[in-house]
Amino acid sequence: MRLLTTREAVPLLLVAAIAAVLPLLGSDYYLGVGFALFGWIALAQSWTIVSGLAGYISLGHVVFAGIGGYVLVLTWGAVPVWAGALLGALAAGLFALLVGLPVLRVRGPYFVILTFGLAEFAKYVVINIENALGRFGRLILGGPPLETLYWAMAALALAGTLAVVAIRRRRLGAGLVAIREDELAAGTIGVPTVRFKLFAFALSALLPGFVGALFVLRTGYFEPAQAFDPVISFTIVTMAIVGGSADARGPVFGTLFLVVLSELLWSNFPQVYMIVLGTLLVGFVLFAPNGVAGLFERRWRVRGAPASG
Partner 1 sequence: MEILLSGQLLVAALIIGSIYGLVALGLNLIYGTMRLLNIAHGDLVMIGAYTGYWLFTLAAVSPVLAMLAAGALAGLTGAALYFGLFRRQLAGSQPIERIEANSLLIFFGISIVIQNLTALAFTASPRTYQALDTLVRIGEVSITQSRLIALAVCLGLSAAIVLFLRFSALGLSIRALIQHRTASRIVGIDVDRVQAFAFVLGFALAGLAGTLIGVTEQISPFMGFPFTIVAFVVIVLGGLGNLAGGIAAGMVLGLIETYGVALTSANLRSVLIYGVFILVLVLRPEGLLQRRRLT
Partner 2 sequence: MLTVERIGKSFGGVRALQDVSFTVPERSIFGIMGANGAGKTTLFAIIAGNLAPSSGAVRLGDLRLTGLPPHRVAAAGVARTFQIVRPFRGLSVQENVETALRFGARDRPAAAPADAAGILGLTGLDGAAGRPAGALTLAQQKRLEVARALATGPRLLMLDEVMAGLTPAEVQDTIAMVRRIRADMGVTVMIIEHVMGALMALSDHVVVLDHGETIAAGPPAQVADDPAVRSAYLGRRH
Report the Cα–Cα distance between both ends of the chain, in Å, rounded.
39
Residue number with CB closer to partner 1 (286 or 305)? 286
* DSSP letter string, 23-58: GGG--HHHHHHHHHHHHHHHHHHHHIIIIIIS----
Degrees to nearest 5, angle at CA 29 with 27 and 31: 75
Under rule CB under 8 A, residue 137 binds partner 1: no
Residue number with CB closer to partner 1 (126 or 152)? 126
Q: Which does 156 bind (CB under 5 to 8 A by kind): partner 1, partner 2, none?
A: none
The Cα-based distances of 103 to 27, 119, 159 in angstroms read 44, 12, 26
Under rule CB under 8 A, residue 5 binds partner 2: no
Contact between 128 and 209 (Cβ < 8 Å): no
Under rule CB under 8 A, residue 250 binds partner 2: no
Query: With b meaning 16 or more CB within 10 Å and e meaning fewer, what string describes 205-222?
Result: bbbbbbbbbbbbbbeebb
Contact between 57 and 215 (Cβ < 8 Å): no
What x/- string results for residues 167 through 186 when contact with partner 2 is judged by CB under 8 A? ----x--xx-xx-xxx-xxx
Whole-angstrom distance, CA of residue 5 vs CA of residue 28:
35
Of the candidate residues 118, 162, 203, 265, the single one contacting partner 1 (CB under 8 A): 118
Of the candidate residues 80, 117, 192, 220, the single one contacting partner 2 (CB under 8 A): 192
Whole-angstrom distance, CA of residue 200 vs CA of residue 87:
19
Under rule CB under 8 A, residue 127 binds partner 2: no
What x/- string results for residues 29 through 68 when contact with partner 1 is judged by CB under 8 A? ----------------------------x-x---------
Whole-angstrom distance, CA of residue 33 vs CA of residue 153:
11
Residue number with CB closer to partner 1 (78 or 286)? 286
Q: Which stretch binds partner 1 (CB under 8 A): 40-48, 112-120, 170-178, 221-229?
A: 112-120
Residue number with CB closer to partner 1 (24 or 286)? 286
Across the strands, what pairs with 222?
138
- Interface residues toward partner 1, by CB under 8 A: 57, 59, 102-103, 105-110, 112-114, 117-118, 120-121, 124-125, 127-128, 131, 184, 230, 234, 237-238, 241, 271-272, 274-275, 277-282, 285-286, 289
